[in-house]
Amino acid sequence: MQTFAGGNTRGSTVHEAAIFAVLSYFFDRCDIFERPSEVVAP
């Protein structure tokens, strides 16, 4: 995912930190690992 977000080449430390910040934001916003708030009856 780091390559997708930041490209194939390694950048400066600031560039790498920015990539990790973006990835962290999207990981935090992702709800795939959250438990459902209510149980849906079949």
In a domain, residue 42? The reply is no
Contacts 24+ apart (CB under 8 A), 34-40: none
Give a yes or no: residue 1 inside a domain: yes
- Is 21 exposed, middle or buried (CB count within 10 Å of its CB: 0-12, 13-18, 19+)? exposed
- Whether residue 38 lies inside any domain: the answer is no
- Say what the alpha-carbon torsion angle 16, 11, 6, 4 is, to the nearest 10 degrees: -110
Domain count, the chain: 1
**Domain of residue 3, residue span:** 1-31
CB 6 within 8 A of CB 19: yes
Check residue 4 and give its pLDDT.
78
Q: What does each of the 42 residues of the chain score in pLDDT, given as a tens digit?
A: 888 778 788 889 998 999 899 989 988 888 777 777 777 666
Please indicate, yes or no, if residue 36 is contained in any of the structural domains: no
Residue with tokens 């790498």: 16
- What pLDDT, on a 0 to 100 scale, did the predictor assign at position 14? 93
Q: Is 40 contained in some domain?
A: no
